[in-house]
Amino acid sequence: MTSKILSSADRIELLFHHLGLERIHVAACMSGDWGDLITKSGDRICSLTIVAPHLNKGVPARLHAFTSPSLIITGDQGAPAKRARDLVDKFRHCELVELRN
């Protein structure tokens, strides 16, 4: 018996199908998770919230085609804040919320 290792996006897609969810709201941190979802199932995502973005797999190539509203929440200092400010410009419809101090 062979088993195929599924990506997190594949596992999430299977869960959505099992639960009968056609459209979803997503909250995530790691770009490997939300990026794969955008690439595989972007049309199913109603909105995307990214908290303290960590770009462990970089920015997905299809990000420019993602049209659902997005929100990025981050602190206002250091590398994470800079990463969030840079990332928000790569979305079509994205709002940035910076938490002071």
pTM of the entire predicted model? 0.84
Assigned token pair, 73: 């929440």
Spans of all domains in the chain: 24-99
Residue 2 has what pLDDT? 56
pLDDT digits (tens, 9 = 90+) for 79-98: 889 989 999 989 989 999 99
pLDDT digits (tens, 9 = 90+) for 26-81: 999 988 888 988 988 889 999 999 999 888 888 888 788 899 999 999 999 998 89
CA 1 to chain centroid = 34
| Alpha carbon distance 100, 81 (integer Å) | 11
If we measure between CA atoms, which residue out of 93, 14, 83 comes closest to residue 53?
83
Higher pLDDT, 49 or 3: 49
Q: What angle do CA 48, 51, 54 make, to 5 degrees?
A: 105
Q: Sign of the CA dihedral 53, 68, 59, 56? A: positive
